[in-house]
Every structure is written in structure tokens, then in C-alpha cells.
Amino acid sequence: MWHHRESRISSYLTAGQLADVLALIQVLALHEHSHRSENGLASELQGPARSAKTWAEVAERHPEFFRVRPTGENRISLIARHVSAPTGGGRPPLSPEYTSRLMQLAIEMHDRELRRSQAWHIWMPAIVAVTAGVFTLFGIWLKSVFGDVS
């Protein structure tokens, strides 16, 4: 079941999130099984997710790449692979080139989010200078209005 919109928004800046996303992309793109269970992912990736309680939670945070069915055994899949035409033996693995491009896209999204989160740092010195100038002018105005009170 989808949670509130805020919980679905991706956050590549969470510690370990990018690494978890890249790991999920690789397993879900290249493994013979296109849909995986939480236990199957934990086994294949040799442990739990680092950035969330479960692999399903990582996938739910990144609907740009992953599909998570609300119920069922193998409920986690990569959207690009899930929508590919099935063959007699299921959905074929994605090509290494396509998988690499998906991983590059995740890295670019991480970098973009990082730049956006640091954008306010550029304005901080200007804000401090303007604030100091306003207080200085206010002090000069007070002195001119009330004179020297000694």
C-alpha cells in the first residue's frame, strides 16, 4: 500500500541510500528472476538494506525505478524489466548497457539532489552581510534620532 506522498519522495541523501538503490537495480535487472521477495533480496545482497528497515522500503522510496506490489511473495521488481515483454521463461534480464544506464541515472539523481540541498550555502554570506548592514544602518539612524545619550 502506498504511504503518504512525503514518505514516497526519494531521498538519495539518506546515508547508504544510493548504494542500496544501485544494488537493487543490479539484482533486479540482471538476475534470472525479475520479481523478488524481501528474503530473496536479503539473501542475494547478503544482508539487510543499509538505508531502510527493508529492501521493500528502499524500493518504495524510489518509485522512479521500482515497483512494489502491496501483497504477494515476490512483490519487488524493477519497472523497466517488469514492463518488458515476457518470453517463455519469464522476463529476460536487461542488458548490461541498459542496467549501466539505469545506475548512471540514479547517480545523476543523487548528484542533483545533493547540489539542490547545498544551494542555500551560496546565499548564506550574502544574507549575513545584508543583515549586518541593516543593523548598522538602524544603529546610525537611532543615533541620529536620539542623539548621544550620555
Rg value, the chain, Cα: 25
The confidence score (pLDDT) of residue 58 equals: 95
Q: In sequence order, which residues have a C-beta less than 8 Å from that of residue 142 and are 6 or more positions away?
A: none
List of the chain residues with pLDDT < 70: 1-10, 148-150
The confidence score (pLDDT) of residue 4 equals: 40
